């Protein structure tokens, strides 16, 4: 699996937008970019995924660079419930490997 | 309500004992997975199963065993051969397509004394 690089931690204020970056300079053409988040003492939950175009859903937006070597997860208005570890994961759909490879992620702290 | 259940939430065992962690899903997913998480670390894949009666080793399968006799169930046994079994264990399931998200259970925190 191609590797991703994320900052160890970020801080935000409540009701402000948050931009969580992810670098993946060795991404291949068949790698989808997935984001999951993990609240304290819980299992991870899916946030969003994309291939080339920017994506929006009810939880977040995903902005993908034109060369696909980086992406940004955008939380439009952070709430205290968004405090979690956010994982950026590349998933190769060109093969048969079903696993998700989790790194250490970014710990997001949201200040009231 | 559809979802994944893991039991128990906390489990304590003495060193040298085998222990089985339960994972059940009612999402009609074909694929199921077991991950291990150590403090401050990401998740690592132990075993996964794409269909009933079939499973494959993940990155850290040594000292673990699984079975997949029913679509809904994927129990994980932590054997005495696992050198450092104390960890947070997470079960997940998904449809077989690689495009699909994985749904995770609440996890079981195993402590071996």
Q: Which of B37, B98, B100, B103 to mutate to test the interface with A (most CBs of A within 10 A)?
A: B98
Q: Contact A93/B90, CB-based, under 8 Å?
A: no
CB contact under 8 A, B106 and A34: no
Question: Do B33 and A98 lie within an 8 Å CB cutoff?
Answer: yes
The pLDDT tens digits for B9-50 are 999 999 889 999 999 999 999 999 999 999 888 899 999 998
Parallel, antiparallel, or unpaired for β B10-13 and B108-112? parallel
Summarised one tens digit per residue, pLDDT across range B61-87 is: 999 999 999 999 999 999 988 889 999
- Asked if A104 is an interface residue toward chain B (Cβ–Cβ < 8 A), one would say yes
DSSP A25: T
Of A99, A90, A26, A33, the residue nearest A60 (C-alpha): A33
């Amino acid at each position: 699996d191609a590797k991703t690089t994320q900052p160890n931690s970020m801080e935000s204020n409540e009701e402000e937008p948050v931009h969580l970056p992810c670098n993946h300079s060795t991404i291949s053409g068949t790698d989808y970019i997935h984001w999951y988040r993990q609240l304290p003492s819980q299992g991870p939950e899916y946030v969003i995924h994309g291939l080339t175009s920017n994506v929006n859903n009810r939880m977040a937006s995903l902005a993908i660079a034109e060369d696909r070597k980086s992406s940004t997860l955008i939380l439009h208005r952070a709430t205290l419930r968004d405090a979690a570890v956010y994982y950026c994961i590349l998933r190769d759909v060109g093969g048969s490997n079903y696993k998700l490879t989790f790194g250490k992620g970014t710990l997001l702290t949201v200040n009231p | 309500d559809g979802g994944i259940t893991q039991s128990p939430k906390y489990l304590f065992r003495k060193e040298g004992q085998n222990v089985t962690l339960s994972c059940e899903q009612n999402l009609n997913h074909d694929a199921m997975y077991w991950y291990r998480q150590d403090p401050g670390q990401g998740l690592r894949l132990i075993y996964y199963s794409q269909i009933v009666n079939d499973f494959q080793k993940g990155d850290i399968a040594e000292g673990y065993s699984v079975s997949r006799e029913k679509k809904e169930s994927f129990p994980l046994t932590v054997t005495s051969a696992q050198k450092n079994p104390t960890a947070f264990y997470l079960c997940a399931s998904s449809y077989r397509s690689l495009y699909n998200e994985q749904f995770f259970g609440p996890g079981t925190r195993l402590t071996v004394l």
